[in-house]
Structure 1
Amino acid sequence: MQRFKHAAKRGPALLTCLLAALLLAGCENETGSTPLGGGEDAHDHDHDHDHGDHPGRLVIASSDGAGDQLYMYDLEEQALLPGSLSLNSAPSALYTSPGKRFVLAPQRSANQVQILDGGLYVHDDHVHEDAPSMAGTLNGPAPTHYRVHGEQAALFYDGDAGNAIMARVELLTDASLENGGSVASQTLDSAHHGVAEPRGDILLATYRTAANGLPEKVDIYHQHNDHYHREDTVNLDCPGLHGAGSNEDYSVFGCSDGILIVHQDGETFTAQHVDNATLGLTGSERVGSFDSHHELPHFVAYAGDRILIIHPEDGDAEELDWTEGADVSLDNHSLDPHGEHLVLLDDAGDLRIFDTADWSEHAHVEDAVDPSTAPAASGHGSRIAMAVAGEPAHVFLADPGNDAIVVVHLEEGEREDPLPLTFTPGKLAWVGLAGEPAHGDDEHDHDHDHEGEEHDHDHEH
């Protein structure tokens, strides 16, 4: 049964958006690490696996002490690997690379992103299982939003307006991360809390004309070797821009007054704006984040606790009735690796899984985890860390009250045995062998924290 509350429909509005008041005030070091994987014998060796049959590993940040320790749980061995790796400071998020081999650990206030090699990769016809290790460090001003699309990821550095340090974007792939760097980068013309969508040789990146607040424009860049040239600007504004997503033909952006839909046909871009009234939003409600997948024709938009299914080709939306009348709020959300299921965690600890083919409820796992045992989220992060990954796909939930990871088989909608830990889990990410290129939900952009910033929108992705 479809779970839509209503359908709000209207043709695309090709009018220029009004500018609105903007709402946002806008080196590697392994000292202290204990080698992961059981010592030197665990490094540089192969296991006789066929391509793709290793269930992967979880990278888990401890919330104990300074919060700067990373641990690895091997899902094949069903055990923590010995030891830990020390980050320079506590991560503001953990992001998985497009090819799923690496984890990026941005430390926003420290202006850096450390790269962890998960140690699982395919060579010829077999799988290498190496001990996890630090692979390098990316440096830039206030790394925040991270967007994956196909085999590419775009990392957005917000910059520092007070010190006239402009925002910057880096294009990343697993091949570039293996070498500890990026494919291409570009310094932008303003410092702002923004986002970039990678689309092959094209990059859509935000731009702000005001002295402060969120951006309102989207620039179109074309890659030239290790940098970009700005080719054009999308002809419609998106005031208070926050949140983005992409599929094969479209990119979408959240605006204070609606959403901006950008259609790509080769190197030709056209835009439409859908206002909040058409989306069924009222008052201060706005879209602030999305889930998206390269092969999913629709976008999942989040406006606080309201979830909208966006049809970009029609310029309309339907609201997903995900609560069934329960008095709950949304804590975390993600699409599965193939874009076939939407996974929602509410603040009561219930897990709801929806089939994206018809948006019917696939499974409802009651009391999957107790969110009250987790510290309150900062910025617009989630209280309970979640990863949806693997073949077959599983949902992994941090359970700080029990020093464990809750495991739910996605297709079966059933809990499996929890994974016991020796520390209190915080953020987490999955690494392993990608059956296909990763596709972008703000993967995991909803886990990020913005120290010292004000936000009026949802807990984002």
Structure 2
Amino acid sequence: MEKKFYSLSAVLVSLALTGCGSDSSSNDNSECHDPSCFAHTDSGRLMVSSADSAALSVLNLENNEVLDTFALTHKASSLYASPGYRYGIAMYRDDDGLVEVIDGGQYQEDHGDHLHPYEKDPSKLNVSIAGANPTHYEIHAGRGAIFFDGAEGVVSKVVEFGDAQLAAGTANSFELASAHHGTAEPLGEHILVSNKGDSASSLPEKVDLFHFHDGDGFELDQTFDETCPGLHGSFTTEEGSVFGCTDGVLVIKEGDNHAFMATKIANIAAIGDSRIGSFSGYAESHLVAGWADDNLFAIDLENMSMELVDWNGAAEDVTKNNAHMSANGEYMLVLDSTGTLHILSGVAEHEHDAGDAHDAEQEAHGFVYQTSIKVLNVMPEPVQGHAGLRQPRVSMVSSPAMDFAYVVDSVTQQVVVVHLEDAEVENRIKLSFTPAQVAWVGIASSDHDHDHEDDEAHNHD
């Protein structure tokens, strides 16, 4: 059978590469070369987009002061960190969509015998990626992938990259055969990409496997026979990749000699007429959190099973607003419709400490409710969306360097700082503008994994 290659294209503006001890931008007035003056336990920086204007501010989390504010071309629809946490990725979701990149200014380079840390002023890179409706953004194994849904007369495309490519002004990009609301999971030399197939809706129903070849681009290796009707939501752990389907969860695992196999975990009775359509997870685990409307399911990729779990301590009359796996995998965070943050055990704890009865219970059930704290006194007013009037999703993120989470309070123009281990509000950062989206950038602690991500924030409807 003839192999089909999808051509690689450099879609970013060229940038100057940097050497040891040099900067990648002109504002190099605060670079630190001595590891003793820039420890991995430093707080990092927080990028916050404005709800009212096309602007993005970078906060120094050591003192909560704004380091700089940058003009964007459009108001950011979403904001994420790059795979290595150095850059902020501001996405504008529209038919004339655009992705812009901001350098957070804190990063490290591998010098062979040590990781060399740097600190400099944040800056906006002369880098942008144009395309119709950039929506889903996924990270795994130090690589990121943005799926552009396309538009009428414009096919979907995938842009794949790592931090080094963003610094160099390059990325790998290829177009698909048609437009659809899809997703892509980067897997090093491979990438899994949704395939519209014969679906009559905007949601795809199949998954393709591509293999990257230098100079030739992406080669289509196979289209999996196992279908995934109404595919929405995806995530990858060390055990495999999951995709949400109307009839269950599609699981794709890599075996010997890069042989990939696709199987299905069928929906259990507790799902009812709903379906799992988004995920939260941690790369170094076999457990993934799957959401079917307001119900949380622990998906076990070792036993190929799913189980309904309690996420709110049986609180009544509350619905899920947003969910996030903490960057170190130790906590599962769920913000409800009343502004209460529910803290559950994550997956890192019972992956490594299954010694006593409580840990054994966590291992058996996946996510165990711990406590709840009020973080937002007033929730934002419902807004009109394509599915009707609904409460806006509140942005939140966690630090991979310290045990803190950050929750946007747009009503009072603040960012709420939550200490996760103590389960209490540590601080409220007052802003001079209405915040919309947040992303943490900086240098992750050495014992925190860089391949975490939560798909709940990434999977827009």
Q: Confirm or deny a common fold (TM above 0.5).
A: yes
Alignment match of 1:370 (pick from 374, 377, 380): 377
> In structure 1, how many angstroms separate the alpha carbons of the residues matched to 2:26 and 2:189?
42
Partners of 1:308 and 1:371 in 2: how far apart? 28
d(CA) in 2 for partners of 1:126, 1:248: 28
- Structure 1 residue 363: Cα displacement: 3.3
Please tell me whether residue 444 in structure 1 is matched to residue 433 in structure 2. Answer: no
Unaligned runs of 5+ in 2: 1-11, 14-24, 110-114, 351-361
- Summarize the Cα distance change of 1:126–1:99 in structure 2 as closer, same or farther, 3 Å threshold: closer
1:423 aligns with: 433
Counterpart in the other structure of 2:281: 292
What does residue range 10-409 of structure 1 map to in structure 2 within 5 Å? Answer: 43-47=28-32, 49-64=37-52, 67-82=53-68, 84-109=69-94, 110-122=96-108, 125-160=116-151, 162-163=152-153, 165-182=154-171, 184-210=172-198, 212-225=201-214, 227-266=217-256, 267-276=258-267, 278=268, 280-283=270-273, 285-326=274-315, 327-356=317-346, 357=350, 358=362, 359-365=367-373, 367-373=374-380, 376=383, 378=385, 382-409=392-419
User: What is the deviation of 1:370?
Assistant: 3.2
SS at match of 2:454: coil
- Per the normalisation by structure 2, the TM-score is 0.82
Gaps of 5+ in 1: 1-26, 29-39, 449-454, 456-461
* Counterpart Cα distance in 1 of 2:80 and 2:38: 26
Check the 8 A contact 1:245/1:252 in 2, yes or no. Answer: yes
**SS of residue matched to 1:444:** helix
* Count of equivalent residues: 402
Report the alpha carbon displacement of residue 223 of structure 1 after superposing the two structures with TM. 0.7
Distance in 1, Cα, partners of 2:325 & 2:404 = 11
> How much does 1:396 deviate?
0.4
Q: d(CA) in 2 for partners of 1:369 and 1:70?
A: 22
Q: Which amino acid aligns with 2:127?
A: G
CA contact (8 A) 1:190 1:209 kept: no
Amino acid at match of 1:113: V
Percentage identity across aligned positions? 32
Distance 1:355 1:323 in 2: 12
> Structure 1 residues 246 and 371 mapped into 2: Cα distance closer, same or farther (>3 Å)?
farther
Per-residue deviation, residues 18-39 of structure 1 (Å, max 9, x unmatched)? xxxxxxxxx99xxxxxxxxxxx
How far apart are 1:313 and its partner, in Å?
2.4
Kindly provide the amino acid, as one letter, of the partner of residue 434 in structure 1: A
Question: What residue number does 1:19 align with?
Answer: none
In 2 relative to 1, CA 438–76 (structure 1 residues): closer, same or farther, beyond 3 Å? farther
The code of the aligned residue for 1:389 comes to: S
Tell me the distance in 2 between the aligned counterparts of 1:174 and 1:375: 36
Query: Structure 1 CA distance, aligned partners of 2:269 and 2:442?
Result: 38
CA–CA separation in structure 2 for the residues paired with 1:370 and 1:407: 14
Aligned partners of 1:247 and 1:292 also within 8 Å: yes
Paired residues of 1:370 and 1:401 also in contact (CA < 8 A): no
Runs of 4+ in 1 over 3 A off after TM superposition: 40-44, 123-126, 373-382
> Using a 3 Å threshold, how does the CA distance of structure 1 residues 52 and 96 change in structure 2: closer, same or farther?
same
Distance 1:128 1:303, change over 3 A: same
**Structure 1, 326-335 or 314-323: larger mean CA deviation:** 314-323
What CA distance in whole angstroms lies between the structure 1 residues aligned with 2:46 and 2:263?
40
Deviations 1:355-399 (A, max 9, x none): 12212233321x211352355384689531111114222110111
Could you tell me whether the CA contact under 8 Å between 1:301 and 1:309 is conserved in 2?
Answer: yes
Residue 230 of structure 1: how far off its partner (Å): 0.3
Find the residue that maps to 2:302 and give its secondary structure. Answer: coil
Greater RCO, CA 8 A, separation 6+: 1
For the 8 Å contact 2:149–2:157, the answer to whether it is kept is yes
**Separation in 1, partners of 2:91, 2:422:** 34
Contact 2:294 2:319 in 1 (8 A): yes
Distance in 1 of aligned mates of 2:437 and 2:84: 20
AA of the residue aligned to 1:298? L
AA in 2 matched with 1:274: I
Give the conservation status (yes or no) of the 8 Å contact 2:322–2:457: no
- Tell me the alpha carbon deviations over residues 53-111 of structure 1, each in whole angstroms, 9 at most, x when there is no partner: 321111111112xx3111111101321224x2111111110011110011111112132
CA distance in 2 between counterparts of 1:41 and 1:402 reads 36
Over 3 Å counting, the alpha-carbon distance change for 1:443 and 1:105 in structure 2 is farther
Aligned counterpart in structure 1 of residue 420 of structure 2, from 410, 420, 441: 410
Indicate if the aligned counterparts of 1:68 and 1:87 stay in contact, CA closer than 8 A.
yes
Moved more, 131-140 or 301-310: 131-140
Is contact 1:374–1:384 with CA below 8 Å preserved after alignment? no
Deviations 1:317-357 (A, max 9, x none): 11111122222000111111122211111111111111122
Sort the Cα spacing of 1:53 and 1:374 in 2 relative to 1 into closer, same or farther, 3 A. farther
The two structures, once aligned, show a CA RMSD in angstroms of 2.2
